[in-house]
Amino acid sequence: MQPHRIVRWLCRVLALAMALALAACAGQKASGPLIVLDWSGYEQEVFWQEFKQAHPNVQVQHTFFAEDAEAFAKLQSGFVADLVHPNSSWLQLYVDNDLLQPIDTSKLKNWPQIMEPLAKMGQVNGKQYMAPWEWGYDSILVRTDKVPEMPDSWADLWDPRYQGHVSIFDSAESSIVVGALALGYDPYNMTDQQLEEVKQKLIALKPNLLGYWTDYTEINQQVASGEVWVAANTWPDAYVALKAEGIAVDYITPKEGRIGWVYGYCIPKSSKNPGLAHAYIDAVISKAAMVEMARQYGYGAANLAANQEIVKTLDPDVVRVMQLDNPDLVKTTVFMKPLTEEQRTKWTKVWDDVKAAP
């Protein structure tokens, strides 16, 4: 074979080998599907656009849960997911039950923008198990045109003038914190006797209740229709959505403080695609994704650059409601804390008893 033909032949072989290698890499990049266990509403592609652009061939499948206990139970029972989106107050329980793997923040180009206090809320024993995404409140949403007098305390949920027009979130954790605050107790340092008093207090709320809400669309519709005048444990998105519809509502700050929460994304040990899971997290913690989240739902963002833009560009009324310009925000908010397994078991039993009571 002549030398120039040998060179051409070698070039063809090399080109073929490179094509096969690229195909193999593309195949790896496109592996999936990526299974995201999440709250309804966060499946929107606008929140993970960067991931879509980088991995156009990866199918993203969203499976939804309605309450933190449901997500935890799913993973504990063997449900396979690549990502889950829990409250930081549940993080210790996930780790104690060996359900999560640490996040390698060196793989996240957007990580340096995450606010340090929120990042710490995603740590257990010094390891980063959660990438914080959104933070916000459980508070009281009020139909201002329906109530005879605006509430200013969690204890006002028991005002007999609201009889039949109150709804509270069907959550043991949130509701027991409300009952404790109404009685003047520290929710996370209660004796068994105090917890029993909280149970009786929550049972005593029943005459005022239209029901227990389980989904944000449900409570929004009930407030919009006028069935519910006082909606407890609602999130800022309810105010944003109803205000946009022209409904007369306000989102108050009880004198005992709003209940605060931080949510974020974790990678379960069951993940079959941890590399893709990291890429998805990096997309959702980007500035653009978090600004859009705040625009839609009125939540605070864990990304510092996003939060700075939100304060400048968001509806000033939403900034007011979220208290984004309040320097004493942390001091005036009762942030949810991790519960021990014993506490969570007791609280769940109390809430079951409350709902079962006549």
Residues 6 or more apart whose CB falls under 8 angstroms from that of 322 comprise: 136, 137, 236, 298, 299, 300
Mean pLDDT by 10 residues, the chain (358 residues): 42 41 41 91 96 96 93 96 96 96 97 93 96 94 96 98 97 96 96 98 98 92 98 93 95 94 96 97 97 88 88 82 73 86 93 97
Domain locations in the chain as residue ranges: 32-130+266-285, 136-260+335-356
Domain 136-260+335-356 belongs to what topology? D-Maltodextrin-Binding Protein; domain 2 (3.40.190)
pLDDT of residue 327: 65
pLDDT of residue 330: 65
49-86 as b/e, with b when 16 or more CB fall inside 10 Å? bbbeeebeebebeeeebebbbebbebbeeebebbbbbb
pLDDT of residue 2: 43
Residues 6 or more apart whose CB falls under 8 angstroms from that of 260 comprise: 135, 136, 137, 138, 333, 334, 335, 336
CA angle 43, 233, 340 (to 5 degrees): 85
140 DSSP β-pair partners = 252
- Strand segments, DSSP code E, in the chain are 34-38, 60-64, 83-84, 100-101, 123-124, 127-128, 131-143, 166-169, 209-213, 230-234, 249-252, 258-265, 267-268, 300-301, 333-335
Q: Which CATH number fits domain 32-130+266-285: 3.30.43.10, 3.20.20.70, 3.40.190.10, 3.90.1310.10?
A: 3.40.190.10
pLDDT of residue 182: 98
Q: What is the pTM of this model?
A: 0.76
pLDDT of residue 21: 41
Nearest to 264 by CA among 238, 234, 289, 296: 289
Tell the burial category of 288 from Cβ atoms under 10 Å away from its Cβ (0-12, 13-18, 19+): middle
